[in-house]
Structures are given as C-alpha cells and as structure tokens.
Amino acid sequence: MTAATCSKVSLSESVLFVAFELGQEQWKLAMTSGFGVAPVVKTVRRGDWDAVDRALTAARQRLGLSSTVPVVSCYEAGRDGFWIHRALAARGIRNRVVDSASIEVNRRARRAKTDRLDALKLVAMLVRVVWGDRTVWREVRVPSVADEAARHVSRERQTLVQDRTRLVNQVRSYLTTWGAALPQARPEGWWTTVTDWQGQPLPAAVQARLARAHQRLVCLAAQLTALETAQREALAATAAEQPAARLLRLKGVAAISVSVLLEEGLAWRDFQNRRQLGGLLGFAPTPYASGTLQRDQGISRAGNTRMQSVMVQLAWSWVRWQPSSALTQWFQRRFGDSARARKVGIIALARKLLIALWRWAMQGTEPAGAIVAAA
C-alpha cells in the first residue's frame, strides 16, 4: 500500500492553504485562501494539535471561509519524518511533503531568512502548486507505516558496517604510532603478540585500549550477523511471485542487496515509468549550455545514496556473474577497452540494471540473456 502526498482541488471551490514551518519547539503556520489574499501567520507549540485546530478555525473566520472548507497543507521533509503527515491526514487535511532541496530560492548574495518568511513563501508556493504549477518543487512519496519501519533494518546494517570500518581504522592508527601493523588474523588476545618498532611488546595502556576496541568489534560483528540472518530469513519466506523472490532468482544478486533495494522503495514507491525510477537513483548527466558555451559537468550527485552504492556493487557483480546478458555485452562493447572507461561506464550500467531489475521484480519481464534460476 502506497501513501502519496498528492492531492487535487477543483479550481471552483474555496480552499484554506496552510504551510507548516517546523521547529524544535514551535511551529509557524501561514494560512491563506488564494492569490492576492494576505496570509495569516500563527505560532503554536510543537505537536499541540488543539492549538493547530484553533489556528485553522481562526484563519477561516478571518479569511471569510466556511467551517467546512477543505484544508490543503504542506511542510518540508526533514527530521520529523512522516508522522506529521499522518496526523494531518487523520484530521482530513490533504497534505503534501516537500523535498527541501527542490524549493526555489532567491540567488541574491544575502537575503533575510526567518521562520515567518519561510512559512509565507511556502504557502505562496503551495497555492501555485495546487493551481497547477508543477515546476515549483518536488514532493516526497510517503511510505506506509510498515514500509517505513522495514527500512530501519538495512539502514541499521549500513550504520554498523560504517562503525566497524571506523573502529578498524582507529586500531590501525593506534598501531601505526608504535611502528606496528594490524595483523590479518585477529583472534582473542592478538594485541599481546604485536610488537613495536624495536620488537618489544606494546605498553600495557595501549594493549588495554586495543582490547576494548576488540570487544566493540566483536559486538558489532554479532549484531551484523544477527541482522543479516534476519534479512535472509525474511526474504526466504516470501512467495515465489513476490518482487524479493524474483530478484533472488537472478545469478549475482544477493539477499542483502535485494533488501536494500526493496526497503528503499523499489516496490512500494509505485513507479509509473523508468524515468521516475531513474530520478530516485540519480546518476544522471548534468550538461551546462549557455549561448556558445557548452560543457559537461559530469554525473549528478543527486539521488538516493543507499541505492546508488548498492547498485554500483550490483553492476560489478552483474558483469562477473551474468556475462551472457545483454547489459553485460553492451558494457563490454562500449567500456571494455580501458580500466578508466570501465569505472565511468559502470555508473551507466548501474542505471540500466536498476530499470531491468525493476521490470523483472514488478512486471515479470526477464532481463535479456540473464541467468534466472527456476522458481
């Protein structure tokens, strides 16, 4: 089930437009009834829905609207997540969650910025969007409660992997200051066998610090193992025609990568075409053309970073384990001449591969020439 933020309003009906500027302690509400109407601004405590209801009632009276007029609201996606969207929907308010990076900004070198000004600008843009201007901003697709909760598994695993890498690098730096190297095999008590630059055992304080770091690494390894086991068991229990089961039948596609793709929205975002999917991934070229000046600015960094990292890994895995597929053959023909070209071309392959995986997972269209295990 996909919850969307889009709402349609007839041009002939009266509407109360509300923009929420969210703060840690207070919310600014800017409210208007349309173009040319001076907005009403109210301040309420964070999460005080009774105060929000009173502000909406007062705004209706001041703007000359009936008590039954529909309310359309918006706020910028951020640290508060989607619980505010769900609370507004429960009150019958048609809400939109806005991608902050897509909002128009004044390009002057110095401009005033306050919560009040931001709320006023946001409500003016909301009126434009509702009346049909699609170029104002980009909206965030809101996941269901179950889909949002499921994302914590792969994101926690990513955090644990980053913590493990940071700890290993710290241990390596501790040893480097004493002229020692980090051994490949690190059984319990390995720090007692390491010697410094002159062949002497490390000082007791250094060994104690290494022992504590080792215990943290053991704890991280146990948590990673538990998460990965849970992910594999959950995917193994899915039905044969579910997106997860289909993806796992492809040679070179592993359970951890499938979990990340699905939890980041390959299925629940309900893409309508490949362009929408490509917009989530990013990896698009960014040309610059003005007058006679034309320059390629390289690959855009915009997009879902978690999906980008896993798709680059999957692209290399695809080249290795799916040599007869059409995508691999295209990659080898176009980028197989040099190592540098392959590093650039793998990004293009990752984008094409994601579209192929989406079509296979959601529509049952097999990637051309791919090795697919029987169901």
Task: Return the structure tokens found at 350.
Answer: 């990752």
Residue 259, pLDDT score: 93
Task: Return the structure tokens found at 272.
Answer: 């309508």
Nearest to 282 by CA among 309, 314, 308: 308
Ranges of residues in the chain whose predicted pLDDT is under 70: 1-12
Residue 8, pLDDT score: 54
Residue 111, pLDDT score: 81
Distance of alpha carbon 116 from alpha carbon 19, whole angstroms: 10
Helix/strand/coil for 3: strand
Q: What is the pTM of this model?
A: 0.83
Residue 10, pLDDT score: 53
**CATH architecture, domain 16-130:** 2-Layer Sandwich (3.30)
H-helix or E-strand spanning residue 75: strand 71-76
Residue 9, pLDDT score: 55
Alpha helix stretches (DSSP H) within the chain = 49-63, 83-90, 115-130, 145-176, 204-236, 243-248, 255-263, 274-281, 305-321, 326-335, 339-363
Sign of the Cα torsion 220, 225, 146, 312 reads positive
Distance of alpha carbon 351 from alpha carbon 345, whole angstroms: 10
Q: Which amino acid is at 115?
A: D
Residue 2, pLDDT score: 39
Residue 104, pLDDT score: 82
Residue 12, pLDDT score: 57
Residue 1, pLDDT score: 37
Q: What Å distances lie between residue 272 and 7, 144, 345, 363, CA to CA? A: 17, 18, 26, 12
